[in-house]
Amino acid sequence: MKTNGRTLLVITTANQVEYTKWAVESIRNCALQNVDLLVVDDCSIDGTVQYCNEQKIPVYTKTKPLGLTNSWNVGYKYFKENNYQNLILANNDILVPQGAIENLLECLEKDILVGVMSSLKGVTFDPIQALKSNHTISIDDENPDNYQKIQDHLNNLKSESKTKIEKTINGFFFGLNRSVSKYELPDGNLFDPLNINVGNESELCERIKEEKVFCLLSFVFHYKGISFGDHKIDKNYDYGRNLTWADAKMLKKSILKQYWYRFKKKIL
């Protein structure tokens, strides 16, 4: 099937509208050609949809919260139905510097799934994707004010290798090219709906036979933990990440439900 040669960049949101504003502003500052923006919102109640409408950003809204994986599948189906060449999936707690997406798209011309680098905090569960695991750089990558300085440094590198192979890609910001459609599930989804918020990118990477890589010349700042802020039951129990934000919010209101939830987690 012939594509339109364009890229769809999907920002997934679940409240935290202030971070969404920062993410959108950073992406708009990139002044990208042939890249369309779409927000897939998980039934936020903080003005996220109103902000998108005011900014004339296309936004898909849900009737109830269904989680991140559902949002990714919504974005994937929009990408497929409108014949885009590339799909970029992004959290809303990110800052994208000029040059990062262009370098990512260059890698997608060859590789089916491509991630990016961030600070060590931004890629906690996959430290191989940390900037300073791959480059000697004196700029503080944990400071969001430095995100463009870091990318400028990367843009000036004359590296023979632009990518590094990885078994799985951190899901806060990554790209897929059109070839990924051959790995979709029988129900038309690309990501397994049984994974509400986590395990989604890892499960897809297990299905993809080709090499998965991250781009050594792309940096995206990731605040980390913002998107799942409503999934924290309390300071001692931050494992409710496979609940929707609404379910987690309801769980917080009842000590008995919290005990029951923890008990089920132990026996399953």
State the amino acid at position 13 in one-letter form: T
3-class SS of residue 98:
coil
How far apart (Å, rounded) are the C-alpha atoms in residues 248 and 251? 5
User: What integer is the mean pLDDT of 216-235?
Assistant: 85
In the chain, how many domains are there?
Answer: 2
For residue range 77-102, what is the model confidence (pLDDT) as tens digits?
Answer: 999 999 999 999 999 999 999 999 99
Tell whether 111 and 184 lie within a shared domain: yes
pLDDT band at 238 (very low <50, low <70, confident <90, very high): low
Tell whether 253 and 188 lie within a shared domain: no
pLDDT band at 268 (very low <50, low <70, confident <90, very high): low
Structural domain range at position 190:
7-222
Tell whether 60 and 162 lie within a shared domain: yes
Residue 20 sits in a domain of what CATH number? 3.90.550.10
Does some domain include residue 1? no
Does some domain include residue 2? no
For residue range 52-84, what is the model confidence (pLDDT) as tens digits?
Answer: 999 999 999 999 999 999 999 999 999 999 999
Tell whether 11 and 113 lie within a shared domain: yes
Does some domain include residue 188? yes
Does some domain include residue 201? yes
User: What integer is the mean pLDDT of 152-179?
Assistant: 92
pLDDT (0 to 100) of residue 4:
76
User: What integer is the mean pLDDT of 12-38?
Assistant: 96
Mean confidence (pLDDT) of the chain: 92
Pairing of strands 94-95, 7-13: unpaired
User: What integer is the mean pLDDT of 36-40?
Assistant: 98
Name the pTM for this structure: 0.94
- Contact residues for 198 (Cβ-Cβ < 8 A; gap 6+): 241, 242
Tell whether 240 and 109 lie within a shared domain: no
